[in-house]
Chains A and B, each alone.
Chain A
Amino acid sequence: NAGVTQTPKFQVLKTGQSMTLQCAQDMNHNSMYWYRQDPGMGLRLIYYSASEGTTDKGEVPNGYNVSRLNKREFSLRLESAAPSQTSVYFCASRGTPWETQYFGPGTRLLVL
Protein backbone atom coordinates (compact mmCIF):
# COMPACT_ATOMS: atom_id res chain seq x y z
CA ASN A 1 0.00 0.00 0.00
CA ALA A 2 1.38 3.40 -0.98
CA GLY A 3 -0.80 5.27 1.56
CA VAL A 4 -0.51 9.01 0.95
CA THR A 5 1.87 10.17 -1.77
CA GLN A 6 3.01 13.70 -2.52
CA THR A 7 4.82 15.22 -5.47
CA PRO A 8 7.24 16.85 -5.77
CA LYS A 9 9.47 16.08 -2.78
CA PHE A 10 11.39 19.33 -3.14
CA GLN A 11 10.87 22.51 -5.15
CA VAL A 12 12.57 25.85 -5.52
CA LEU A 13 10.51 28.76 -6.85
CA LYS A 14 11.16 32.40 -7.54
CA THR A 15 8.84 35.00 -6.06
CA GLY A 16 5.75 35.34 -8.22
CA GLN A 17 5.96 31.91 -9.82
CA SER A 18 3.08 29.47 -9.51
CA MET A 19 3.02 25.78 -8.81
CA THR A 20 0.73 22.94 -7.80
CA LEU A 21 1.51 20.40 -5.11
CA GLN A 22 -0.08 17.05 -5.79
CA CYS A 23 -1.42 14.59 -3.23
CA ALA A 24 -3.04 11.20 -3.70
CA GLN A 25 -4.25 8.52 -1.29
CA ASP A 26 -5.19 4.93 -1.96
CA MET A 27 -7.04 4.21 1.30
CA ASN A 28 -10.49 5.24 0.04
CA HIS A 29 -10.60 8.03 2.64
CA ASN A 30 -13.24 10.72 2.47
CA SER A 31 -11.31 13.53 4.16
CA MET A 32 -8.08 15.08 2.96
CA TYR A 33 -5.97 17.91 4.35
CA TRP A 34 -3.13 20.26 3.52
CA TYR A 35 -0.81 21.54 6.27
CA ARG A 36 2.30 23.65 6.39
CA GLN A 37 5.04 23.15 8.95
CA ASP A 38 7.32 26.02 9.90
CA PRO A 39 10.11 25.91 12.48
CA GLY A 40 8.76 26.39 15.99
CA MET A 41 5.15 26.58 14.75
CA GLY A 42 3.99 22.98 14.55
CA LEU A 43 1.60 22.08 11.75
CA ARG A 44 -1.05 24.54 10.65
CA LEU A 45 -4.07 23.59 8.56
CA ILE A 46 -4.31 25.37 5.21
CA TYR A 47 -7.37 23.74 3.62
CA TYR A 48 -9.30 20.55 3.99
CA SER A 49 -11.83 18.56 2.04
CA ALA A 50 -14.35 16.59 4.06
CA SER A 51 -15.56 14.70 1.01
CA GLU A 52 -15.27 14.69 -2.75
CA GLY A 53 -16.58 17.96 -4.13
CA THR A 54 -16.18 20.02 -0.95
CA THR A 55 -13.33 22.16 0.33
CA ASP A 56 -13.03 24.44 3.35
CA LYS A 57 -10.51 26.90 4.72
CA GLY A 58 -8.32 26.05 7.64
CA GLU A 59 -6.25 28.28 9.84
CA VAL A 60 -3.92 29.79 7.20
CA PRO A 61 -5.60 29.72 3.74
CA ASN A 62 -4.39 33.05 2.34
CA GLY A 63 -2.27 32.69 -0.80
CA TYR A 64 -3.44 29.14 -1.54
CA ASN A 65 -6.14 27.41 -3.54
CA VAL A 66 -7.13 23.76 -3.53
CA SER A 67 -8.91 21.29 -5.77
CA ARG A 68 -10.42 17.96 -4.78
CA LEU A 69 -10.09 16.37 -8.17
CA ASN A 70 -11.71 13.10 -7.14
CA LYS A 71 -11.83 10.95 -4.02
CA ARG A 72 -8.16 10.06 -4.34
CA GLU A 73 -6.54 13.38 -5.22
CA PHE A 74 -6.31 16.75 -3.48
CA SER A 75 -4.03 19.41 -4.92
CA LEU A 76 -2.70 22.65 -3.43
CA ARG A 77 -1.91 25.59 -5.71
CA LEU A 78 0.23 28.63 -5.08
CA GLU A 79 -0.76 31.21 -7.69
CA SER A 80 1.98 33.73 -6.93
CA ALA A 81 4.57 32.35 -4.55
CA ALA A 82 6.03 34.55 -1.82
CA PRO A 83 9.09 33.96 0.43
CA SER A 84 6.67 33.65 3.39
CA GLN A 85 5.38 30.45 1.77
CA THR A 86 8.74 28.75 2.21
CA SER A 87 7.79 25.76 4.32
CA VAL A 88 7.31 22.02 4.43
CA TYR A 89 3.88 21.02 3.15
CA PHE A 90 2.13 17.89 4.32
CA CYS A 91 -0.91 16.26 2.84
CA ALA A 92 -2.99 13.93 5.00
CA SER A 93 -6.11 11.82 4.71
CA ARG A 94 -8.57 10.32 7.15
CA GLY A 95 -11.30 7.71 6.96
CA THR A 96 -13.78 7.71 9.82
CA PRO A 97 -14.07 10.75 12.14
CA TRP A 98 -12.48 8.96 15.08
CA GLU A 99 -9.47 7.79 13.10
CA THR A 100 -6.08 9.43 12.97
CA GLN A 101 -4.89 11.24 9.90
CA TYR A 102 -2.33 9.51 7.71
CA PHE A 103 0.37 11.80 6.42
CA GLY A 104 2.32 11.94 3.21
CA PRO A 105 6.12 12.32 3.24
CA GLY A 106 5.98 16.09 2.76
CA THR A 107 7.14 18.60 0.14
CA ARG A 108 9.92 21.04 0.94
CA LEU A 109 9.27 24.34 -0.82
CA LEU A 110 11.79 27.16 -1.00
CA VAL A 111 10.65 30.49 -2.43
CA LEU A 112 13.47 32.87 -3.29
Chain B
Amino acid sequence: AQKITQTQPGMFVQEKEAVTLDCTYDTSDQSYGLFWYKQPSSGEMIFLIYQGSYDEQNATEGRYSLNFQKARKSANLVISASQLGDSAMYFCAMREGHNGNQFYFGTGTSLTVIP
Protein backbone atom coordinates (compact mmCIF):
# COMPACT_ATOMS: atom_id res chain seq x y z
CA ALA B 1 0.00 0.00 0.00
CA GLN B 2 1.13 3.53 -0.70
CA LYS B 3 2.37 5.37 2.36
CA ILE B 4 1.36 8.77 0.95
CA THR B 5 -1.45 9.30 -1.53
CA GLN B 6 -2.08 12.50 -3.42
CA THR B 7 -5.11 11.97 -5.64
CA GLN B 8 -5.10 15.30 -7.48
CA PRO B 9 -2.54 15.25 -10.30
CA GLY B 10 -3.47 18.79 -11.32
CA MET B 11 -5.40 21.66 -9.78
CA PHE B 12 -6.39 25.11 -10.96
CA VAL B 13 -7.25 28.07 -8.75
CA GLN B 14 -8.14 31.67 -9.43
CA GLU B 15 -5.70 34.24 -8.10
CA LYS B 16 -6.65 35.44 -4.57
CA GLU B 17 -8.83 32.37 -3.96
CA ALA B 18 -8.07 29.60 -1.46
CA VAL B 19 -7.20 26.07 -2.56
CA THR B 20 -6.93 22.74 -0.75
CA LEU B 21 -4.47 20.08 -1.83
CA ASP B 22 -5.31 16.60 -0.57
CA CYS B 23 -2.98 14.15 1.13
CA THR B 24 -3.76 10.89 2.90
CA TYR B 25 -1.21 8.73 4.66
CA ASP B 26 -0.86 5.21 5.90
CA THR B 27 1.12 4.27 9.00
CA SER B 28 0.71 2.14 12.10
CA ASP B 29 3.20 4.25 14.07
CA GLN B 30 1.83 6.51 16.79
CA SER B 31 4.62 9.02 16.34
CA TYR B 32 5.14 10.45 12.87
CA GLY B 33 5.58 13.73 11.08
CA LEU B 34 3.89 15.16 8.01
CA PHE B 35 5.49 17.68 5.67
CA TRP B 36 4.54 19.70 2.62
CA TYR B 37 7.06 20.86 0.03
CA LYS B 38 6.78 23.12 -2.98
CA GLN B 39 8.75 22.48 -6.15
CA PRO B 40 8.64 25.34 -8.66
CA SER B 41 9.62 24.85 -12.26
CA SER B 42 13.20 25.74 -11.34
CA GLY B 43 13.38 22.39 -9.54
CA GLU B 44 14.35 23.15 -5.96
CA MET B 45 12.42 21.61 -3.05
CA ILE B 46 11.09 24.23 -0.65
CA PHE B 47 9.78 23.28 2.79
CA LEU B 48 6.38 24.79 3.56
CA ILE B 49 4.88 23.34 6.71
CA TYR B 50 5.19 20.55 9.29
CA GLN B 51 2.66 18.73 11.49
CA GLY B 52 3.64 16.28 14.22
CA SER B 53 1.29 13.44 15.02
CA TYR B 54 0.95 14.59 18.63
CA ASP B 55 0.38 18.24 17.77
CA GLU B 56 -3.12 19.17 18.86
CA GLN B 57 -3.36 22.33 16.81
CA ASN B 58 -3.27 22.46 13.03
CA ALA B 59 0.00 23.90 11.80
CA THR B 60 0.02 27.30 10.12
CA GLU B 61 2.79 29.20 8.34
CA GLY B 62 1.71 32.45 6.80
CA ARG B 63 -0.71 31.67 3.97
CA TYR B 64 -0.22 27.93 4.42
CA SER B 65 -2.18 25.82 6.87
CA LEU B 66 -2.37 22.10 7.34
CA ASN B 67 -5.78 20.57 7.93
CA PHE B 68 -4.79 17.57 10.04
CA GLN B 69 -7.50 14.92 10.58
CA LYS B 70 -5.81 12.11 12.45
CA ALA B 71 -8.72 9.68 12.48
CA ARG B 72 -9.08 10.00 8.71
CA LYS B 73 -5.30 9.95 8.23
CA SER B 74 -5.41 13.07 6.14
CA ALA B 75 -3.11 16.09 6.07
CA ASN B 76 -4.45 18.51 3.50
CA LEU B 77 -2.60 21.69 2.62
CA VAL B 78 -4.66 24.86 2.42
CA ILE B 79 -3.22 27.84 0.59
CA SER B 80 -5.13 31.04 1.19
CA ALA B 81 -5.16 34.06 -1.12
CA SER B 82 -3.38 32.28 -3.97
CA GLN B 83 -0.69 34.16 -5.84
CA LEU B 84 0.75 33.58 -9.31
CA GLY B 85 4.00 32.53 -7.67
CA ASP B 86 2.19 29.62 -6.01
CA SER B 87 2.07 27.81 -9.35
CA ALA B 88 4.25 24.74 -8.74
CA MET B 89 4.28 21.06 -7.84
CA TYR B 90 3.35 20.32 -4.24
CA PHE B 91 4.49 17.20 -2.42
CA CYS B 92 3.20 15.69 0.79
CA ALA B 93 5.68 13.60 2.79
CA MET B 94 5.72 11.53 5.96
CA ARG B 95 8.44 10.59 8.41
CA GLU B 96 7.61 7.47 10.38
CA GLY B 97 8.67 7.19 14.00
CA HIS B 98 9.94 9.95 16.26
CA ASN B 99 13.55 9.53 15.19
CA GLY B 100 12.75 7.91 11.87
CA ASN B 101 14.91 8.46 8.85
CA GLN B 102 12.62 6.88 6.31
CA PHE B 103 10.71 9.58 4.50
CA TYR B 104 7.91 8.79 2.07
CA PHE B 105 6.72 11.21 -0.59
CA GLY B 106 3.52 11.36 -2.56
CA THR B 107 3.43 11.70 -6.33
CA GLY B 108 2.63 15.38 -6.11
CA THR B 109 -0.08 17.82 -7.23
CA SER B 110 0.55 20.38 -9.93
CA LEU B 111 -1.09 23.68 -8.98
CA THR B 112 -1.73 26.38 -11.55
CA VAL B 113 -2.88 29.81 -10.41
CA ILE B 114 -4.95 31.63 -13.02
CA PRO B 115 -4.81 35.44 -13.16
User: CB within 8 Å of B: which residues of A?
Assistant: 31, 33, 35, 40-45, 48, 50, 56, 58-59, 88, 90, 92, 97-98, 100-103, 105-106
Contact = CB atoms under 8 A, between A and B. Distances in A.
Interface of B: 4, 33, 35, 37, 43-45, 47, 50, 52, 91, 93, 95, 98-108
Nearest to B100: A97
- Main SS at interface, chain B: strand
30 contacts: A31-B101, A33-B101, A41-B107, A42-B105, A42-B106, A42-B108, A43-B91, A43-B93, A43-B103, A43-B105, A45-B104, A58-B102, A59-B102, A88-B43, A90-B45, A92-B45, A97-B95, A97-B98, A97-B99, A98-B33, A98-B50, A98-B98, A100-B47, A100-B50, A101-B35, A101-B47, A101-B103, A102-B47, A105-B43, A105-B44
B103 A33 contact: yes
